Amino acid sequence: MLSCGSNRLGGRGVGEGVAAIAQDVAGTRDPGDPHSPALTDAEYALFAQVARTRRVEAGQYLFRRGDLGTAMFVIASGAVDLDFGDDLVGKRLAAREFLGELGLLIGDHARSADATVAESGVLLELGRVEFDALAARDPQLLTQFLRRAIMRVVFNEQALIARLRRRNQELQSTLDTLRATAHRLNQTEALTRTDELTGLANRRGFGTHIEQRRRNSTLAGLSLILIDCDRFKHVNDTHGHLAGDRVLQSVANLLRAVAGPEDIACRLGGDEFCLLVHGDRREDLERMADYILASARALMRMHSNPPQMTTLSLGACSLGPGQNWEHWYTQADTALYRAKRLGGDRVEWQD
């Protein structure tokens, strides 16, 4: 069931039209379906952590058509009936299903249905404060839910447009708002996978990329280079953390410069970086590693007080068939440890 809105098309609210369309397209209420009004187990567990619980009794009104709403509801137990008026078929929502999400997304959004408690139970109520708490706890899962909710709204409104053959200005404005919200959510999700200081992929973003490749069985033919700043703690202790940040940004710029269009440069955390390189020819990788080391030395000589670069230690290996990702990461990490132990400013290989 879609949340309620005040937009009008041919004399009917968007929510009303969506309800009518839902009669044509509704199937089973599977939470895995992007158009389902039911939360997944993970989404429900997250929402239940921060939502306000509200006990309701049969016959009680949650809201009426035309009320301005800023909150959404999830049914923990019981059931809720939605009445769109006129001769439109109503909807009954049960446990794990949600309603009113447009009120939360857009704010002060007029409801286009009467919501009445059909069976006594408990609701989870989420307003702006709870929304912010969800974003702080698990932005990726919240982004997944909101994108699915928005896809469901856009899908049904597009079906409504196709059915009625016209679109009024209010509906267009709503769609524009939803698209802008989806765009902002995509940007938010991208930020959760990007290191704020350097702009490279962070550990989460790198892990997502590896997981996608592992599912597609495309790890073979790649090479991994782990990079660590030599004596980075000395830079922080002697020149301060701002100088340390500049060093990390310089390393990121260097890796960004040598990475090819299909390579992935990542800051794993602290002063540890990595490059996932397409290709496994040893001579090509040696040239790349030597260029990284020589460039770091040159930058260190050019900017020494305060330093903007340190020498680097590299550990590298080529990813062959027959082993999992953890094996190859351990190989590169072993090589990196050996390079550090031998004094740094060098590359070590582990085949």
What CATH number does the domain located at 8-192 have? 2.60.120.10
The per-residue b/e assignment along 275-314, b for 16 or more CB within 10 angstroms, e otherwise, is bbbeeeeeeebeebbeebbebbeebbeeeeeebbbbbbbb
Q: Quote the tokens at residue 60.
A: 């009680």
Q: How far apart are CA 203 and CA 191, in angstroms?
A: 12
Q: How far from 113 is each of 116, 125, 174, CA to CA, in Å? A: 9, 18, 17
pLDDT in tens, 194-212: 898 999 999 888 888 888 8
pLDDT of residue 4: 39
Backbone angles phi, psi at 19, to 5 degrees: -60, -40
> Cα 155 vs. chain centroid, distance in angstroms?
21
- 90 SS3 class: coil
CA nearest neighbour of 336 among 315, 306, 350: 315
pLDDT at 333: 95
Confidence at residue 93, expressed as pLDDT on a 0 to 100 scale: 93
Which entry of 271, 290, 345, 351 is annotated as an active-site residue? 271
What per-residue confidence (pLDDT) applies to 116? 94
How far is 107 from 218, CA to CA, in rounded Å? 45
**How far is the C-alpha of 44 from the C-alpha of 126, rounded, in Å?**
12
Distance of CA 33 to the CA centre of its chain: 19
Over its length of 351 residues, how does the chain's per-residue pLDDT go in tens digits? 333 333 333 333 433 333 333 333 333 355 555 556 789 899 999 999 999 999 999 999 999 988 888 888 999 999 999 987 766 677 899 999 998 888 777 777 788 789 999 999 999 999 989 988 888 888 888 888 888 888 877 776 665 566 565 556 666 777 777 777 666 666 556 657 889 899 999 988 888 888 887 776 677 789 999 999 999 999 999 999 999 999 999 999 999 999 998 899 999 999 999 999 998 888 999 999 999 999 999 999 988 788 999 999 999 998 877 778 889 999 999 999 999 999 999 999 987
Gap between the Cα atoms of 200 and 139, Å rounded: 19
What pLDDT is recorded for position 186?
60
Residue 225 is given by DSSP the state E
User: What are the residue ranges spanned by the domains of the chain?
Assistant: 8-192, 203-349
Q: Which tens digit of pLDDT belongs to each residue from 130-139? A: 988 888 888 8
What pairs with residue 272 in β-bridges? Answer: 228, 269
Active-site residue 67, yes or no? Answer: no
Identify the bridge partners of residue 75 per DSSP, sorted by sequence position: 123
Q: What is the pLDDT of residue 88?
A: 65
| CA atoms of 70 and 5, how far apart (whole Å) | 11
User: Quick one: pLDDT at residue 151?
Assistant: 80
- Terminal Cα distance for the chain, rounded: 56
pLDDT of the residue at 198: 93
- Fold for the domain defined by 203-349: Alpha-Beta Plaits (3.30.70)
Please report the pLDDT score of residue 163 as a whole number: 59
CA distance readout (Å), 58 to 21, 114, 121, 199, 225 = 28, 14, 8, 53, 63
* Alpha helix positions (H), the chain: 14-25, 41-50, 101-106, 128-137, 139-164, 169-192, 203-215, 232-239, 241-258, 282-302, 325-341
- According to DSSP, the residues that pair with 123 across neighbouring strands are 54, 75
